[in-house]
């Protein structure tokens, strides 16, 4: 059977990673979380107290960073497990800024394209169908209302025992979307050839099944 590439894009907290993980599992494909890559460089930059307005400095941080993501979806920077750290509020608040720079995106996209070359991947992010894998066989654009997305993230936080403020979460999500949509380089945007999936009133299972149906048509 021919292996394909599945691109899943959409705004923050739309459930992309949860769904992409399950789709990859059902297909026996590799799941690649590109948001984790931008979060990792943001974490490393914050830790080294780099000036986030200094693109060149950030590129230095990226070049000095040995980033590893394994099949258990753990993330390591220079051998250190930062899986939880890259999800912190501070990283979430600053990641869109770091991800807005052309030179940073160019290097990230180069790495992502290497990973997608052999196909057999489900990749999620903001620009996968539009820039990273423009020739992906299946492109999904997942959306959900900001209210619903904040609700889901809030529930997730509480289940994990993390402190969580619904209104603040919603504001943070909306602000991150705004920055991601308004940036100059490969902004968050539904491509003309992507299938839009509004998950506001769907369960995870329903979304996964819908995507599996779409994939079956293209395989």
11 is in an annotated binding site: yes
User: Cβ 208 to ligand C5P, closest distance in Å?
Assistant: 18
In angstroms, give the least distance from the CB of 8 to ligand C5P.
10
Instruction: Taking the CA atoms of 100, 103, 106 and 110 in sequence, report the sign of the dihedral they define.
Output: negative
Kindly indicate which of the ranges 54-62, 68-76, 93-101, 197-205 contains the residues binding ligand C5P, using the contact rule CB under 6 A: 93-101
Considering only residues 8 through 27, tell me which ones interact with ligand C5P, judged by CB under 6 A. 12
**Least separation in angstroms between CB 127 and ligand C5P:** 5
Map the footprint of ligand C5P across residues 24-43, applying CB under 6 A: 34-35, 38-39
Cα separation, 106 vs 38, in Å, equals 12
- Of the candidate residues 40, 127, 139, 143, the single one contacting ligand C5P (CB under 6 A): 127
Shortest Cβ 34–ligand C5P spacing (Å): 4
What angle, 0 to 180 degrees and rounded to 10, lies between the N-to-C axes of helices 34-47 and 102-116? 140
What order of strands is seen across the sheet that includes strand 138-143?
A: 30-33, 121-125, 5-9, 138-143, 195-198
Rounded Cα–Cα distance for residues 135 and 194 (Å): 11
Please identify which residue in 96, 144, 169, 197 interacts with ligand C5P, judged by CB under 6 A.
Answer: 96
Segment contacting ligand C5P by CB under 6 A, of 24-32, 51-59, 92-100, 210-218: 92-100
Element at 7 (helix H, strand E): strand 5-9
Nearest 5°: phi and psi at 184? -75, -40
**15 annotated as a binding-site residue:** yes
Calculate the dihedral angle through the C-alpha atoms of 211, 148, 154, 87, rounding to the nearest 10 degrees: 50
CA distance 22 to 208: 7
Q: Which of 99/211 has CB closer to ligand C5P?
A: 99
Using CB under 6 A, list all residues that contact ligand C5P: 12, 34-35, 38-39, 95-96, 99, 125-128, 176, 180
């Amino acid at each position: 059977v021919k292996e394909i590439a599945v691109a899943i894009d959409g705004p923050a907290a739309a459930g992309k990673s949860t769904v992409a993980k399950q789709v990859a599992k059902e297909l026996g494909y590799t799941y690649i979380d590109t948001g984790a890559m931008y979060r990792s460089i943001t974490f490393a930059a914050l830790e080294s107290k780099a000036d986030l307005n200094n693109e060149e400095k950030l590129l230095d941080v990226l070049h000095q960073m040995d980033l590893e993501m394994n099949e258990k979806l753990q993330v390591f920077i220079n051998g250190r497990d930062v899986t939880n750290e890259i999800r912190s509020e501070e990283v979430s608040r600053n990641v869109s800024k770091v991800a807005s720079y052309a030179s940073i995106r160019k290097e990230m996209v180069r790495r992502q394209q290497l990973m997608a070359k052999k196909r057999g991947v489900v990749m999620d992010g903001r620009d996968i169908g539009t820039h990273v894998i423009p020739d992906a066989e299946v492109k999904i654009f997942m959306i959900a209302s900001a209210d619903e997305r904040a609700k889901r993230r809030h529930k997730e936080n509480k289940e994990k025992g993390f402190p969580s403020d619904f209104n603040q979460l919603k504001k943070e999500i909306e602000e991150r979307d705004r920055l991601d949509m308004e940036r100059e380089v490969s902004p968050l945007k539904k491509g003309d050839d992507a299938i839009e999936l509004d998950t506001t009133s769907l369960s995870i299972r329903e979304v996964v099944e819908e995507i599996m149906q779409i994939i079956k048509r293209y395989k």
